[in-house]
Amino acid sequence: MYNMGASTKPGYDIANKSREIVKSLIDDKTKDLTYEERDIVERVVHSTADPDYASLVKISNDFVDSALKSFNNKEDILTDINMVKSGITRYDGKVSCYIRDELSRKMAKSEDITRSAAAIRVAVEDGFKGVVAIGNAPTALLEVIKMHKANEIDVKAVVGVPVGFVGASESKELLSKTDIPHVITTGPKGGTPIAVAVINSLLNINKN
């Protein structure tokens, strides 16, 4: 039985029926994946009702192990915007987002960077260590990559699925060329539900 945020019998029934339909739609595209990777892809398609994601989601070989280890160690989950944070409700560790932090606002102005990028730096100053989930802002993802290259961030895995026609594809391609364990979606598509689906898939596996 799939736990997809449902907490009642009618809720579970809907979630299970949906997952069976998802499986039937994308089975041929996920057959070479591990159990955990298949769960991630199915959950993304479930949460978007968009089977295209079965072809767009790319998971690095070390992603599942690295992210699960971080979760088991109760390290942090850092998100780019609060919508992603709001979707992660079943984690025992800290889930944080600094986009609306006063420090992020000030740093964005003083450094002439986006508030999304500033929020990553503020998180690091606040002691972040763990998994980053980016569902919206390419500039946040670029900041993570930059800080990783400079050995300034202790990041164990990145769910990098920013959305949009300006900079999103490029930022994801850059991530895929780093040694950071990662999930990306190729092309402009992505978004907060995809970031949430990837994280919740692993958290759910972790509890079963």
Q: What residues are annotated to the active site? A: 46
Which residues sit opposite 130 in a β-bridge?
76, 155
Least distance from a copy of itself to the Cβ atom of residue 200, Å: 12
Q: CA–CA separation, 86 vs 105, rounded Å?
A: 21
Least distance from a copy of itself to the Cβ atom of residue 46, Å: 7
Least distance from a copy of itself to the Cβ atom of residue 104, Å: 10
**Count of residues that bind a copy of itself according to CB under 8 A:** 48
Nearer to a copy of itself, 51 or 73 (CB): 51
Instruction: For residue 103, state whether it binds a copy of itself (rule: CB under 8 A).
Output: no
For 39, residues 6+ apart whose C-beta sits below 8 A from its C-beta are 201, 204, 205
C-alpha torsion angle, residues 83, 89, 92, 98 (rounded to 10): 20
Nearer to a copy of itself, 61 or 89 (CB): 89
Answer for the pair 144, 132: CB distance below 8 angstroms, yes or no. yes
Binders of a copy of itself among residues 142 to 181 (CB under 8 A) are: 163-168
The interface mask with a copy of itself, positions 49-88, x = CB under 8 A, is xx------------------------------xxx-xxx-
Q: CA–CA separation, 16 vs 39, rounded Å?
A: 13
Nearer to a copy of itself, 129 or 146 (CB): 146
Nearer to a copy of itself, 3 or 48 (CB): 48
- Cα 156 to Cα 25, 29, 120, 148, 201: the distances in Å are 32, 27, 15, 10, 17
Return the residue of 67, 131, 193, 202 that touches a copy of itself, per CB under 8 A.
193
Interacting residue ranges for a copy of itself, rule: CB under 8 A: 6-11, 14, 17-18, 21-22, 46-50, 81-83, 85-87, 89, 100, 105, 108-109, 112-116, 138-139, 163-168, 187-193, 196
